[in-house]
């Protein structure tokens, strides 16, 4: 089963802990907010707005090196742009997995 | 090499800043979360390179390039590889980086731009616009950049320090001169018939004596412009 990884961040930072902390802080702050925005958009049936938010979240998913999750998220984004909710449950599971991972990230 | 970063995502901007800091000879002189702020900066300052996000709310990176009178070199950042195909239409786009950005790929991109600058071919001194640019205009109204297809413009009228851009059902008042706006309109379609008026030749309904009818507007034709106007029309 695919799991979030910080390998990309570790490789990018080349050991710069300050940079790693800065990026993780942004992710911890932004992902829950963006997911709330997504839910608001879905609840108000504004699928275009929801797709824009999924697009932003997609970059964060890519960051965690989850290729299958990224593919599913992209499909959900395109479905929303066509006014459909395909892959919504899968997308929600993916975000929940990452949100659970973030506070428990390995140091 | 001076550069700016234009991306609505904080994480992307931080990563690019970090990579630029590590790269010798690259100086980030501006960070912008929206195209509007970047546009205002570039109106005052020249840079060698822009790291530009393709997908920004309400305004794509491609739209942004078209607003610039002369574009520096651009490296596009995107999660969509299909954007690469569109990038070929723009001479200022040197490369594109797929998110999440790979450090080695970033270095290669920057090296490309570096070589171009060393060879003396600065893009700002030899501006090349995309093929599509003169068919679209971006006007600044109330801190928004609004895109207008030039085909939809009926005429432009000078009004003090402003011009009025008249479309069939809308009117825009823009703080600029008729001369400056004329430079941005396709010269084969637009013609200045009077010191205060530029008309879209395709919108002429009829011409009578020294006036031309465009939609419902009667526009005067200067005596000195009449001959040239007639030469542009497909007369039988």
What is the percentage of chain A residues whose pLDDT exceeds 70? 94
Q: Left if phi > 0, otherwise alpha if psi is -120 to 50, otherwise beta: which for A22? A: alpha
In a domain, residue A56? The reply is yes
Distance from CA of A89 to the nearest CA of B (A): 22
pLDDT along chain B (236 residues), means of 10: 94 95 93 89 89 82 76 86 68 86 93 85 43 66 77 92 90 87 87 94 90 91 87 75
Minimum CA–CA partner of B79 in chain A: A59
Would you give the DSSP letter of residue A104? G
Q: Left if phi > 0, otherwise alpha if psi is -120 to 50, otherwise beta: which for B102? A: beta
Name the residue ranges covered by the structural domains of chain B: 2-118, 133-232
ipTM of the complex: 0.89
Residue ranges of B 91-120 with Cβ closer than 8 A to chain A: 99-100, 103
Domain count, chain A: 1
In a domain, residue A1? The reply is no
In a domain, residue A75? The reply is yes
- The pLDDT score that the predictor gives to residue B81 is 66
Say if the Cβ atoms of A30 and B11 lie within 8 Å: yes
CB A24 within 8 A of CB A105: yes
In a domain, residue A2? The reply is no
Evaluate if residue A96 carries a pLDDT over 60.
Answer: yes
State the pTM of this model.
Answer: 0.67
Q: A36 is in which domain, residue-wise?
A: 7-104
- The pLDDT score that the predictor gives to residue A71 is 92
pLDDT tens-place string over residues B178-196: 988 888 888 889 999 999 9
Confidence of residue A88 (pLDDT cuts 50, 70, 90): very high
pLDDT tens-place string over residues A9-36: 999 999 999 999 999 999 999 999 999 9
Residues of chain A contacting B10 with CB distance shorter than 8 Å:
26, 30
- The pLDDT score that the predictor gives to residue B129 is 43
Fold of the CATH domain B133-232: OB fold (Dihydrolipoamide Acetyltransferase, E2P) (2.40.50)
Say if the Cβ atoms of A55 and B14 lie within 8 Å: no
Measured between CB atoms, which of B14, B57, B99 is closest to A23?
B14
Say if the Cβ atoms of A55 and B55 lie within 8 Å: yes
Would you give the DSSP letter of residue A105? -
Say if the Cβ atoms of A60 and B11 lie within 8 Å: yes
Domain range B2-118, CATH class: alpha beta
Interface test with B, best of A59, A67, A75 (most B CBs within 10 A): A59
- The pLDDT score that the predictor gives to residue A107 is 46
């Amino acid at each position: 089963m695919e799991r979030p990884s910080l390998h990309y961040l570790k490789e990018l930072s080349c050991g710069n802990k300050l940079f790693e902390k800065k990026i993780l802080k942004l992710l911890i702050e932004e992902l829950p907010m963006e997911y709330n925005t997504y839910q608001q958009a879905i609840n108000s049936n504004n699928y275009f707005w929801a797709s824009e938010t999924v697009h932003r979240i997609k970059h964060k998913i890519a960051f965690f090196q989850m290729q299958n999750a990224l593919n599913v998220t992209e499909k959900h984004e395109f479905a929303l742009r066509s006014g459909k909710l395909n892959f919504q449950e899968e997308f929600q599971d993916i975000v929940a997995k990452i949100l659970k991972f973030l506070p428990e990230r390995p140091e | 090499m001076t550069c700016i970063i234009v991306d609505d995502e904080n994480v992307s901007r931080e990563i690019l800043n970090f990579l630029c800091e590590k790269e010798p000879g690259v100086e980030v002189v501006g960070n912008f979360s929206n195209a509007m702020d970047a546009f205002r900066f570039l109106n005052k300052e020249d840079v060698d390179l822009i790291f530009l996000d393709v997908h920004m709310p309400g305004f794509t990176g491609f739209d942004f390039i078209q607003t610039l009178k002369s574009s520096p070199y651009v490296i596009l950042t995107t999660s969509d590889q299909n954007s690469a195909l569109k990038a070929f239409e723009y001479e200022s786009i040197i490369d594109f980086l797929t998110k999440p950005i790979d450090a080695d790929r970033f270095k290669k991109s920057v090296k490309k731009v570096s070589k171009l600058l060393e060879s003396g071919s600065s893009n700002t001194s030899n501006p090349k616009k995309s093929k599509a640019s003169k068919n679209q205009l971006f006007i600044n109204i109330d801190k928004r950049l609004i895109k207008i297809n030039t085909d939809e413009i009926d005429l432009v009228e000078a009004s003090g320090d402003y011009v009025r851009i008249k479309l069939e059902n809308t009117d825009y008042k823009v703080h600029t001169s008729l001369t400056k706006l004329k430079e941005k309109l396709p010269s084969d379609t637009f013609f200045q018939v009077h010191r205060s008026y530029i008309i879209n030749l395709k919108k002429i309904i009829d011409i009578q004596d020294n006036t031309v009818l465009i939609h419902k507007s009667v526009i005067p034709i200067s005596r000195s412009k009449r001959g040239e106007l007639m030469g542009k029309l497909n007369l039988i």
